[in-house]
Amino acid sequence: MATALISHPACRLHEMGPAHPECPRRLDVISDQLQSLGVLDFLIHHEAPAASREQLLRVHTPQYLDWLDSMVPESGLADIDLDTKMNEKTLVAASFAAGAAIIGTDLVIGQQADNAFCNIRPPGHHATASQAMGFCFYNNIAVGAAHALEAHKLERIAILDFDVHHGNGTDVIFQSDERVLVCSLFQRDLYPFSGGDAHKAGGIDVPWPAGSSGEGMHNAVQDAWLPAINDFRPEMVFVSAGFDAHAADGISDLKFSDRDFHWLSGFAKSAAAEHANGRLVSTLEGGYELDSLARCAAAHVRVLAGI
């Protein structure tokens, strides 16, 4: 077996304007970096299916899905919030992004891949059960985790989120579900201005101060996340992999390095190896400075693949 790389061409059809940082090129630079490093030949390639309405309803309300459908413009862009827009292909792209998390879950649980990385967009971790926000429409990682719980009958899922923005949608969706442990690392007092409870129902937050490098972050994550993960003993690990805490990424005020993302990737893989027979599915969230995104996402995949 090997690491599965999952994507779909339709994920490039969603656009929010020529100057918007969440752009189709994000997927291309990751693929190009993996190609230039000679990594692609060592991966199992899969094209994502579209998530069904039934699969989306595990984490989103029917009223919300209907509202999204009603907002699709015939042409141009429809405003969802100040920085989130839809074009006529947005929900097509989003359905394949969510579907990638589903097929990744199936492949890993079915022992057809050791683990999986979903090179997808739009991202998902800000989407709540009933609200699109922060560039997100369907909560991809939540859809994948719910699929593991409902279709595969797993009983304990850990979600590790190291995007620079708190994954408020994932938190809200699973806040009352004792089967899910959500561990989050993010910049304190940054959009969406949520999170920050060191020990909360359903998870562990590590808010990191603005302006900080990754120095000390490794110990903070080990001290906060690892005991909770060890106590919880997840049967599968999901990762919301955002690379926008990098020093080169102007969307945040953290100063993480390539090495920090390599370490976070290794932490997630080790947690899966320790408790979940290595079962891990990772989905792309943020990361908007294209050079650092390409390097760090490729490093993430290389750690997962062990190459």
Asked if the model's pLDDT at residue 200 lies above 70, the reply is: no
Query: What is the tens place of the pLDDT at every residue in 201-246?
Result: 678 999 999 999 999 999 999 999 999 999 999 999 999 999 999 9
Burial 113-126 (b: 16+ CB within 10 A, else e): bbbbbbbbbbbbbb
**pLDDT in the model for residue 6:** 99
> Structurally, how many domains does the chain consist of?
1
Query: Dihedrals φ, ψ of 112, to 5°?
Result: -100, -5
In the residue annotation, 126 being an active-site residue is answered as yes
Question: Domain with 253 in it: what CATH number?
Answer: 3.40.800.20
Query: What is the tens place of the pLDDT at every residue in 5-61?
Result: 999 999 999 999 999 999 999 999 999 999 999 999 999 999 999 999 999 999 999
pLDDT band at 69 (very low <50, low <70, confident <90, very high): very high
| Set 14, 125, 126, 246: catalytic member | 126
From 27, 16, 8, 281, select the one nearest 132 (Cα to Cα): 16
The angle at the Cα of 111, spanning 109 to 112, to the nearest 5 degrees, equals 115
pLDDT band at 1 (very low <50, low <70, confident <90, very high): confident
- pTM strictly above 0.75: yes
Structural domain that includes position 171: 3-305
Mean model confidence pLDDT for the chain:
97
Paired tokens of 35: 């190609």
